[in-house]
Amino acid sequence: MNMNSMIKSFDKAGFIQNWGWFLAWGLILFCLGLAAIGAAIFTTLLSVMFLGGLFIFGGVIIVIDSFHYWKGTGKSFYLNLLMGILYFAFGLMLIINPLVGAATLTLLLSVLFVLLGMARIMYASSTRFPQWGWMLFSGILTLVLGILIVVGWPASSLYVIGLFIGIDLVFGGWAYIMAALMGRMLVKKN
């Protein structure tokens, strides 16, 4: 489905009718985002432990799959079993010591930001498409954020993940609120 058909298939009547739900959801996300920013350390630790739980769950599934599907295949069985055990162990490490997990994930996040920033800068500089300055600005901003996280590491690992989650929730909530207000405006127009 291309973008034009997606736009044409947009349910304008349903959107207008349910603008209040969009507003409620936006306000909830916005408030949760503010709370996450205000309790960034708690949000960081909670999200790291949640991620640990997902890794444990994934590890258990892979181990079960190893014995169910890969049993008797020799090397494939042992590699799959090892992968499940590693998933489980990593998840357990995140839950038992979320501070170390947060530090590790924050360092990985900072490296990702530095690499993404450099890639965006190179892409914007080499293509020079219309409005390429925004891509350049985005790349510089991402690069600077990555460097700031690295410079503040490991202390920054206590709050960076929670802060980013909070910021994402605030902007996601704001987008829903703006969409709801547009829906409300369309209701008044009709």
Q: What's the average pLDDT block by block, 10 residues per block, for the chain (190 residues)?
A: 52 75 92 96 94 97 90 83 96 94 90 91 82 84 89 88 89 85 76
Q: What per-residue string of b and e applies to 82-98 under the rule 16 or more CB within 10 Å gives b?
A: ebbeebbebbeebbeeb
| Single pTM value for the model | 0.72
In this prediction, residue 9 carries a pLDDT of 54
Sole residue written with tokens 């202390």: 155
What sections of 39-74 are H helices per DSSP? 40-65
C-alpha–C-alpha distance, residues 85 and 79, integer Å: 10
Tell me the CA distances in angstroms from 57 to 62, 142, 188, one per residue in order. 9, 32, 49
In this prediction, residue 10 carries a pLDDT of 55
In this prediction, residue 27 carries a pLDDT of 96
Token pair of 190, please?
């009709």
Token pair of 17, please?
């009718």
